[in-house]
Amino acid sequence: MSRIFSGVQPTGDLHLGNYLGAIRNFVGLQADFECIYCVVDMHAITVWQDPKQLAPHTREVAAAFIASGIDPKNSIIFNQSQVTAHAELAWVFNCVARMGWLNRMTQFKEKAGKQRENASVGLYVYPNLMAADILAYKATHVPVGEDQKQHLELTRDIAIKFNNDFETDCFPVVEPLIFGEATRVMSLRDGTKKMSKSDPSEYSRINLTDGADEIAGKIRKAKTDPGELPGPDSLAEDGQHVEAEVERARPEAFNLLSIYAALSGQSMGVTLEQFAGAQFSAFKGELVDLSVAKLGPIGEEMQRLMASPDHVDSVLHDGAERAAAIAAPVIKEVHEIVGFLGA
């Protein structure tokens, strides 16, 4: 069976964008893949994290995995720092990857901004650690969003160069899994910006721990425009995606429609057909009902799990042991290939 690896950073306050963009997709992969899902706490500290909050945030991500339907008995759920193979293989990959490759990584430029000289070295070599996360388990597929596609390409480059340099077939060339509707969920207050926990307005996002009343209130207050809802004539020639210029003209409308499509499991085309010409007031009522039905139970279960940290910790510990058992022979093989004494 093919193997999936993916991770989520424990930066706190998981929201609808995290769920629709990543976690929900993880759930559906369990039937067809051997799945390893990691809370990547080592990636999190590439920028400053409050040490008192890192552990609770780590538990929050694990709770979200479980509450969303990831079965910790069939899939592996663990936090990255409990398995030393990640750091060990990352150092080898630091010596395989080229400076020029890392200089082309746009996410470092975006995160470091004008403070590039003050950014941590960890943030710069973050893609090498991501490659180690994946290849320590010889994962064959990785579900990625648009913002991670470049890093996955680097993982493929590292695997190919390692295999070529050492004349081996040790690592697979990983394939991406890119999902469709609502992989980018935008702010409920500004449809041109991504939904983010850093937005000062709580009404810009739906948190996964929000209750039914909070979800309903945020959707009802979501920004819209004066027009009726658009119809299928908004679709591009492929019949699957909204024409870019049309979407730019009404970002809030298409954001809400995209959220509805994703939560309902139907295509944007079907959603546009369903609500063509409707008023926002009626549509928001439908979106409230759907969102509360889909997200309410997840929030309730997350709250229950986070109130029992010992259970979540035991899931992470068990997952770490299972993950380490898979990674250990890979690390041994790498030691032998590289020529480390005592391998």
As annotated, the active-site residues are 111, 194, 197
Q: Would you state the structure tokens that stand for residue 11, as one six-digit string?
A: 């930066």
Which residue has tokens 């630091």? Answer: 94
Calpha distance 207→167 (Å, rounded): 48
DSSP notation for 156-168: HHHHHHHHHHTT-
Which residue has tokens 């064959």? Answer: 140
Amino acid type, 133: D
Report the interhelical angle of 309-338 vs 280-306 (nearest 10°).
80
Calpha distance 158→237 (Å, rounded): 37
Q: How many residues does the chain have?
A: 343
Calpha distance 311→302 (Å, rounded): 12
Cα separation values, 61 from 23, 141, 271, 322, Å: 9, 21, 30, 19
Q: Would you state the structure tokens that stand for residue 147, as one six-digit string?
A: 């913002």
Cα separation values, 323 from 165, 311, 317, Å: 27, 18, 10
Query: Residue 235 pairs with which residues in a beta bridge?
Result: 242
The residues, any chain, with a CB within 8 Å of residue 75's CB and separated by 6 or more, are 30, 35, 36, 37
Whether the CB-CB separation of 183 and 147 falls below 8 Å is answered with no
| 3-state secondary structure (DSSP) of residue 33 | coil
* No. of helices (H) and no. of strands (E), the chain: 16, 5
Calpha distance 220→327 (Å, rounded): 48
Calpha distance 302→320 (Å, rounded): 21
